[in-house]
């Protein structure tokens, strides 16, 4: 585990502080910066740069590219160590329900829609983006009836967890031409209670 996760997050005290922060935020949310060790992070980036991506587009819902998460990367997400960290912070017994490796570049986005989940859900985003500027769009916005509650600005090697209640939805802001060839790459998904 010390090879994968930043050792800071293996300490009980750190996790307890993180749990307090998570519960004190509205909505319940936390960002864990420098989450993976530098070695693990850079290995991940190298692996991902070799993958083939496929466009996913229903224009009134979303447009971005995605690829199947390699088995060894998925294994990282479901290791006991990471599960323990997530369970401690969220005070739940969680299991990975769904994960997607996706890429957002110029013209890409997701939109709010009525089909979005209307129940409490734990969303996570693991940021694999080397560099990002907010003026390019591409950030994740959690909203409640049009009011932004939380904004996740892509920061490399950051794990963001947000508990969405039934009135909250999220979207990824349209990436504009100022981004040029820059891409936001992340693993995002849903945790459910066991």
Partner 1 sequence: MYDLINSRYLKQVNALKQQFIQNKPFPYLILKNFLQLDLASKLTTALIQQEFNDKNSDLFQFKQTNELKHNTNPVMRDFYTFFSSPEFIDYLADISDIKLDGTIDMAGFIYQPGDYLLPHDDRLEGRKIAYVLNLSHGFTAKDGGALELFSTTNHHPTLVTKKIPPTYNTLTIFKVTPTSFHQVHEVLSTKSRLSIGGWFHG
Contact residues toward partner 1 (CB under 8 A) are: 58-61, 107, 109-112, 135, 137, 141, 143, 146, 171, 173-174, 176-178
Nearest CB to partner 1, comparing residues 56 and 74: 56
CB 61 to partner 1: min, Å: 7
Nearest CB to partner 1, comparing residues 141 and 192: 141
CB 36 to partner 1: min, Å: 29
CB 185 to partner 1: min, Å: 20
CB 109 to partner 1: min, Å: 6
How far apart CA 48 and CA 70 sit, in angstroms, is 9
CB 187 to partner 1: min, Å: 21
What residues contact 157, with CB distance under 8 A and at least 6 apart?
A: 33, 34, 35, 36, 41, 127, 128
Nearest CB to partner 1, comparing residues 36 and 179: 179
Nearest CB to partner 1, comparing residues 95 and 111: 111
Nearest CB to partner 1, comparing residues 75 and 178: 178
Which of 84, 4, 75 lies closest to 39 in space, CA to CA? 4
Nearest CB to partner 1, comparing residues 94 and 173: 173
How far apart CA 162 and CA 150 sit, in angstroms, is 9
What is the pairing mode between strands 94-104 and 184-193? antiparallel
CB 191 to partner 1: min, Å: 23
């Amino acid at each position: 585990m010390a090879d994968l996760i930043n050792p800071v997050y293996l300490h009980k005290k750190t996790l307890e502080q993180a749990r307090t922060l998570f519960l004190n935020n509205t909505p319940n949310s936390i960002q864990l910066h420098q989450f993976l060790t530098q070695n693990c992070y850079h290995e991940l980036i190298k692996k991902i740069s070799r993958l083939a991506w496929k466009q996913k587009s229903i224009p009134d819902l979303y447009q971005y590219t995605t690829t199947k998460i390699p088995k060894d990367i998925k294994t990282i997400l479901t290791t006991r160590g990471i599960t323990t960290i997530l369970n401690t912070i969220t005070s739940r017994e969680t299991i990975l329900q769904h994960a997607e490796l996706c890429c957002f570049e110029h013209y890409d986005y997701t939109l709010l829609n009525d089909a979005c989940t209307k129940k409490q859900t734990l969303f996570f985003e693991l940021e694999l983006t080397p560099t990002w500027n907010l003026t390019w769009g591409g950030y994740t916005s959690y909203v409640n009836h049009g009011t932004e509650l939380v904004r996740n600005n892509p920061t490399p090697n950051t794990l963001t967890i947000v508990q969405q209640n039934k009135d909250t939805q999220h979207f990824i802001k349209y990436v504009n031409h100022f981004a040029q060839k820059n891409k936001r790459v992340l693993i995002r998904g849903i945790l459910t209670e066991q």
